[in-house]
Structure 1
């Protein structure tokens, strides 16, 4: 079994590079189907979030760099331009990496829980695309179990630290009294829901939720006493917002420089604080060049996130120990798979001997032979057939070896023979 992970994340590449390799959720089934056409790919899972794009593969023994070539071709990118940003893990390293990702130890926000849900979504998408089999299926299920154990046995998730929390913390630093501020949130996914709840809990004066699907925005707005609008209505409401936080899956920017300039004029140059959590970005980079606009991307949140992380770092040490143990367990399962063909062959051979012996016994009974004698002969014949070749090999091995014969020791262990 050859497990390989190819990826790019927030530690290896800035947001403008990561967005070039991100996968739109709507196109992910097509991507998986395309990837599975690769002759060396047996199974595949694609994980694409704001902070990472990773491809987990179970590959044929004769695999090469064709998966990386596929990635660049599918995303229409020059392979040489992005080569330095990519990483690759194989075998046990790939297993351990996935476990660390699932537990939030490889996240921008140490220990954040959202990544586990994103991994489960990626798992389901691969399952629906028929890109998931025994090996990766077992690996991801094991990863989910490890993440649950880490959450239960350590304090990794006790501190309220997340990208959403960091964005709200930054807003609180700029607007000391959120009770006098209006926030426009773009999107209605899990991250924006967390942002909305943090702002609501911190006493925000007014919340406007904008989303492509107004019904979904309305559900979220109702829970935080907010107001729901469609994306097309943003220009009409942008001037009302002191705070804009955006996190959608759009492949194109939602807020452009012209729209923001118009809002600033209506606000009479009153500043707007903006946080763009999305990858690809929802807010054009040029917006950050405008006076009275304070634009932060997901990468800019790092310094804020660093605060209040010490307890999570301590818990992370415990989590690493759990991951090491569980990675060893999975590695043992991987090694055990090498024995499966041999076990199957032994069972097939035993079944053949059994069938032959039973057929002979049934014929003897039909001929009127004594049933007890037939059964005794059946047992003797089957025992001899099953043990003949192992006995012969042991005798030959003992004849050819010195006093320390590993095959004899292996036979004792295989048949559980005590001294």
Structure 2
């Protein structure tokens, strides 16, 4: 059984590639089942966020990496050759190490950002509910949650309020020096939008409007920050009021097109509009960037903005890596122990079979009237000989052939040296 991680992220692929390989919430369950049906994977978790798409699999065939890679491309209807240069592959220990880094925020665009842990938990829960996880991935993901918690507790990795949402707000403050007279239109109602609303509120934004497909969910976000909620169908009416637009939905198609933004700019008399599209696939048509008086940024554009905040986290990241290294080794130790468990079970089964055979013969002898003491003595002698025969033959051969390591292993396994020392006193 092989543990495999295959994926791409903001470091290996631009947003136009990432959005083509993203798994929306409406297809994730079908994708998980398809992955198990069409590849040698017997367990699978799919993690798909704005910045990454990753497949975590337990494979019955250690050479099935290409099958999984082709499945990813085929599922999204793209050419495998186009995808291949952007993919990374990790197996066994490297796969464990990668997941622990991801869940701890060490592989994020914003070093140490806390949102990814919730996204990893949600991905695992979806896979668990879909019955695509088992003993291996179940143990791995529970282990990674505990490690990520320890990293946050024992290091300063999460002390600064830095995230993609925070980076977007920081950029808005550079464009609009005073946010108190500005209106922010937030599209979506997930964690990222809620975080953006919190940062805007803390920096004194004048007004917040939250637009979402479900107005009730938008209201839950808006009311925390003195804003108000609208539905997506009302966007065109409120877009002209927006000085700042931050969008992060799971929509498979753009929500704001060039035409809608052009009309809003005319009503605004071409006052500048700052727009941040954090979604993958994108919520705002790329052509909007061609319009005068619009400053449109995607998640990739925020990389430079967040670098300054990342510097303060590098020391904490080194401490976090030490924790991750330790717990990667711990998990691999558990994984290796599974081989020992199988060996023990096989040895016990063989021993019990010998026991039953010898016991059946002894019971027949007792039924035939043989003295019990004689039968018990013969049972003990026969059982001992049968249990020791194969190991004894193998140890004699090891001695003849000079296999010192095997002899030392046998001595350690059965603690023979210790027993001999005791018996010689």
TM value normalised by structure 1: 0.93
Q: Is the 8 A contact 2:45 2:132 kept in 1?
A: yes
Q: Is the 8 A contact 1:7 1:87 kept in 2?
A: yes
Q: Which residue pairs with 1:120 in the alignment?
A: 121
Q: Which residue pairs with 2:357 in the alignment?
A: 356
Report the CA distance between 1:78 and its aligned residue.
1.3
Q: Distance in 2 between matches of 1:340 and 1:318?
A: 34
Q: Which residue pairs with 1:28 in the alignment?
A: 28
Deviations 1:72-112 (A, max 9, x none): 11101112222221121222222211111111111100011
Report the CA distance between 1:360 and its aligned residue.
5.0
Report the CA distance between 1:38 and its aligned residue.
2.2
Report the CA distance between 1:379 and its aligned residue.
5.1
Q: Which residue pairs with 1:155 in the alignment?
A: 156
Q: Is the 8 A contact 1:155 1:311 kept in 2?
A: no
Q: Distance in 1 between matches of 2:337 and 2:58?
A: 16
Report the CA distance between 1:188 and its aligned residue.
0.5
Deviations 1:228-269 (A, max 9, x none): 111111111111111110100101000111111111111111
In structure 2, do the counterparts of structure 1 residues 62 and 302 end up closer, same or farther at CA, with 3 Å as the change threshold?
Answer: closer
Deviations 1:31-73 (A, max 9, x none): 1111111242222211110000111222223425111111111
Q: Distance in 2 between matches of 1:198 and 1:353?
A: 71
Residue ranges of structure 2 left out of the alignment (5+ in a row): 419-425
Q: Distance in 2 between matches of 1:173 and 1:372?
A: 95
Report the CA distance between 1:388 and its aligned residue.
2.9
Q: Distance in 2 between matches of 1:312 and 1:46?
A: 28
Report the CA distance between 1:154 and its aligned residue.
1.0
Q: Which residue pairs with 1:99 in the alignment?
A: 100
Q: Which residue pairs with 2:414 in the alignment?
A: 415
Q: Which residue pairs with 1:177 in the alignment?
A: 178
Q: Which residue pairs with 1:3 in the alignment?
A: 3
Q: Is the 8 A contact 2:18 2:52 kept in 1?
A: yes
Q: Distance in 1 between matches of 2:82 and 2:270?
A: 40
SS at match of 1:55: strand
Q: Which residue pairs with 1:288 in the alignment?
A: 289
Task: Give runs of aligned pairs for residues 170-209 of structure 1, distance below 5 A.
Answer: 170-209=171-210
In structure 2, do the counterparts of structure 1 residues 339 and 241 end up closer, same or farther at CA, with 3 Å as the change threshold?
Answer: same
Report the CA distance between 1:357 and its aligned residue.
4.4
Q: Distance in 2 between matches of 1:177 and 1:372?
A: 99
Q: Which residue pairs with 2:167 in the alignment?
A: 166
Report the CA distance between 1:397 and its aligned residue.
2.4
Q: Is the 8 A contact 2:39 2:67 kept in 1?
A: no
Report the CA distance between 1:361 and its aligned residue.
5.6
SS at match of 1:179: helix
Which moved further from structure 2: 350-359 or 121-130?
A: 350-359
Q: Give the alignment's Cα RMSD to 1 decimal.
A: 2.1
Q: Which residue pairs with 2:422 in the alignment?
A: none
Which moved further from structure 2: 404-413 or 248-257?
A: 404-413
SS at match of 1:147: helix
Task: Give runs of aligned pairs for residues 13-412 of structure 1, distance below 5 A.
Answer: 13-59=13-59, 60-359=61-360, 381-398=382-399, 400-402=400-402, 405-412=404-411
Q: Which residue pairs with 2:421 in the alignment?
A: none
Q: Distance in 1 between matches of 2:146 and 2:248?
A: 29
Q: Is the 8 A contact 2:23 2:48 kept in 1?
A: yes
Q: Distance in 1 between matches of 2:404 and 2:385?
A: 24
Which moved further from structure 2: 230-239 or 331-340?
A: 331-340
Q: Is the 8 A contact 2:39 2:71 kept in 1?
A: no
In structure 2, do the counterparts of structure 1 residues 369 and 225 end up closer, same or farther at CA, with 3 Å as the change threshold?
Answer: farther
SS at match of 1:17: helix
Q: Distance in 2 between matches of 1:206 and 1:118?
A: 29
Q: Is the 8 A contact 1:95 1:139 kept in 2?
A: yes
Report the CA distance between 1:306 and its aligned residue.
0.8
Which moved further from structure 2: 202-211 or 374-383?
A: 374-383
In structure 2, do the counterparts of structure 1 residues 224 and 373 end up closer, same or farther at CA, with 3 Å as the change threshold?
Answer: farther
Q: Is the 8 A contact 1:40 1:62 kept in 2?
A: no
In structure 2, do the counterparts of structure 1 residues 64 and 287 end up closer, same or farther at CA, with 3 Å as the change threshold?
Answer: closer
Report the CA distance between 1:376 and its aligned residue.
6.4
SS at match of 1:36: helix
Count of residue pairs the alignment pairs up: 417
In structure 2, do the counterparts of structure 1 residues 374 and 116 end up closer, same or farther at CA, with 3 Å as the change threshold?
Answer: farther
Q: Distance in 2 between matches of 1:317 and 1:280?
A: 33
Q: Is the 8 A contact 1:4 1:89 kept in 2?
A: yes
Q: Is the 8 A contact 2:184 2:242 kept in 1?
A: yes
